[in-house]
Amino acid sequence: MTIETTRKSIARWHEMLEKDDLSILNELLAENVVFRSPVAFQPYSGKQVVFFILSNVIQVFENFTYHREFFSEDGNNVVLEFSAQVGDKKLKGVDMIHFDDEGQITDFEVMLRPKSGLEALALHMGQRMQSFQAKT
């Protein structure tokens, strides 16, 4: 894997958010992707559930902005620092993303602060996850 492969994938990630084109998300996620939520102890595995989570978080977050990005020396890992709001609660966080050799996301972990913002996100996403789990 080269860092250029990862940079192309990150550029597609930003394009997805700018254009609100979730078909790009489908292209970026590996079939065996794992999502590590800041509100759930157990990770979520598989493209279908991770697609659902990420596409819904995009809808829940307001005033979402990336500020900085950091690439590992091996080119497989990126950390994206962001800020957003959920209702009247502001939050800061990082997306820690691991890519495979083809530039697909295999591991996506989110860390958030402060607790009030995390709780607001947990409330909104909990309702959506119950709906998703009832359908599957």
User: How many residues can be counted in the chain?
Assistant: 136
pTM of the model: 0.91
Task: Give the pLDDT of residue 133.
Answer: 67
Domain ranges of the chain: 3-135
Cβ neighbours of residue 51 closer than 8 Å, sequence gap 6 or more: 22, 25, 26, 29
Please give the average per-residue pLDDT across 15-27, as a whole number. 95
pLDDT tens, position by position, 73-114: 988 999 999 999 999 999 999 999 999 999 999 999 999 999
Q: Specify the amino acid at residue 123.
A: L
Task: Give the pLDDT of residue 39.
Answer: 86
pLDDT at 134 over 80: no
Which helix or strand (DSSP H or E) is residue 29 part of? strand 29-36
Q: How far apart are CA 13 and CA 28, in angstroms?
A: 8
Task: Give the pLDDT of residue 127.
Answer: 76
- So what CATH class is 3-135? alpha beta
